């Protein structure tokens, strides 16, 4: 099967899976880790298929401490930096939670390995618990996937 056809099929499968999952409403408040996981899954589903506008729109909820300007900047820089990701990384495969750390009841960091055909990326979400809601305070991605092997 040629590379273009494989990419079209892979994008179609990821888009279909995301569409089914996204039919559930994005949690407006993140009151528990199950809602955080749903929130991250919605974001990563769009991110992996290259729909960065849809992905970063997930961050526009009351539970996000990121400003509209910060979200816009993240979207713009991601779009420009990952415009031709398939050339170096290959087709998107999936994402897996690789590491979870917390200061109980206060801070939570969840790091993902974003799997592509040739190389992975790492994505990091950090949340602060204000007593009622977990607030997204940081999101970042990079190619420092080896850091996931450190203690």
Distance, C-alpha 12 to centroid of its chain: 18
SS3 129: strand
- pLDDT of residue 128 exceeding 50, the answer is yes
Q: Which residues contact 94 (CB under 8 A, 6 or more apart)?
A: 48, 115
Does residue 48 or residue 7 have the better pLDDT?
48
pLDDT classification of 85: cutoffs 50, 70, 90? confident
To the question of domain 3-149 being in CATH 3.30.70, the answer is no
Q: What is the CA radius of gyration of the chain?
A: 15
Quick one: pLDDT at residue 71? Answer: 97
- pLDDT of residue 137 exceeding 90, the answer is yes
For 7-18, what is each residue's pLDDT tens digit? 545 445 444 444
pTM: 0.81
What number of CA atoms fall less than 13 Å from residue 17's CA on the CB side?
18
34 to 21, 25, 81, 134, 146: CA distances (angstroms)? 14, 14, 31, 11, 27
SS3 141: strand
Please give the share of the chain, as a percent, with pLDDT higher than 90: 70
Q: Which run of H or E residues covers position 138? A: strand 134-142
Best mean pLDDT range from 20-29, 86-95, 122-131:
122-131
For the chain, the domains span 3-149
């Amino acid at each position: 099967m040629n590379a273009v056809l494989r990419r079209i099929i892979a994008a179609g499968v990821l888009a279909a899976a995301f569409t089914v999952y996204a039919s559930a409403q994005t949690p407006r408040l993140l009151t528990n880790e199950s809602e955080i996981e749903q929130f991250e899954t919605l974001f990563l589903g769009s991110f992996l298929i290259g729909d960065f506008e849809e992905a970063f729109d997930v961050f526009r909820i009351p539970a996000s401490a990121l400003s509209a300007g910060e979200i816009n900047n993240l979207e713009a820089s991601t779009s420009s930096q990952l415009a031709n990701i398939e050339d170096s990384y290959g087709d998107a495969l999936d994402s897996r939670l690789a590491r979870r750390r917390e200061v109980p009841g206060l801070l939570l960091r969840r790091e993902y390995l974003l799997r592509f055909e040739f190389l992975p990326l790492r994505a990091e979400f950090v949340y602060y618990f204000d007593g009622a809601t977990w607030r997204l305070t940081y999101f970042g991605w990079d190619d420092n996937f080896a850091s996931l092997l450190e203690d």
